[in-house]
Structure 1
């Protein structure tokens, strides 16, 4: 059975980057994975001051809006590195928060899909033909945690 997620308040909402699970990366606390991810677009750019603005944004929706501002220049290599940035943040989230790690591990070997109607890169899009990169990252993180836990026994 494929597991679909999207909204934070729906089943498997903890898989969303907007879920209220803080992470610690690059020597700083981030309210959500979304806050961290959006801020990383501006590392080393003329808009680097946006990083701290995004970090303290009151909600992940505000952080996302700030990061998606097309008038701001992002890193030149952003399209190439964004999957690694996302994976690093998602892994951190599930290593820190054991309650949601248990939810992720309980999915077994099921396929996980971000059921975003608009996002064809991170999600499956409205017609389910998207790349589902976030779902693939979650499945990869699940596998990594399983292997780590097996070696701890």
Structure 2
């Protein structure tokens, strides 16, 4: 009989896994530019191809991930027209760069082994939602990033 996978719940108030969230204040370098957080980069992705001016404003508006998010939402009418199709891949790219660039975060992610990573949020797309039946796309993206990092850097024996 196979034992069930460990489940790890990730939310902004949890000190142990707080760094896994996009609001955590870890800079991310992408295409020669530094973003104050992964939230900044993810929000900027919505506009990079069609409105680079908005993407740049998101990057530089503030160190606050909440301000970056709010500015992005104010400009939602200008986001890439195919954003819904692109968003999961862009989240994975964002998370990969964040974890690859911060050794302590990378090691924390690798220490989760093969546990199921669950984004505990009311958002039923990125997390499990209020009813805990959401898609958990951010948790799944974190697991894919973890797999990529495990292959590139196997744990020490």
The TM-score with structure 2 as length reference comes to 0.88
Show the counterpart of 2:53: 49
Q: Structure 2: how far apart are the matches of 1:11 and 1:25?
A: 26
Q: Which runs of 5 or more structure 1 residues have no equivalent in the other structure?
A: none
How far the C-alpha of 1:101 sits from its partner, in A, is: 0.8
- Cα shift readout 1:128-150 (whole Å, capped 9, x = no counterpart): 11110110011111111111113
Q: Which runs of 4+ in 1 moved over 4 A?
A: none
Show the counterpart of 2:16: 11
- Calculate the aligned-residue CA RMSD, in Å: 2.0
**Contact 1:8-1:16 within 8 A present in 2 as well:** no
**Contact 1:21-1:31 within 8 A present in 2 as well:** yes
Question: Does 2:122 correspond to 1:140?
Answer: no
Q: Which runs of 5 or more structure 2 residues have no equivalent in the other structure?
A: 1-5
Show the counterpart of 2:3: none
Among 12, 22, 34, the alignment partner of 2:39 is 34
Q: Structure 2: how far apart are the matches of 1:50 and 1:111?
A: 35
Show the counterpart of 1:67: 72
How far the C-alpha of 1:48 sits from its partner, in A, is: 3.5
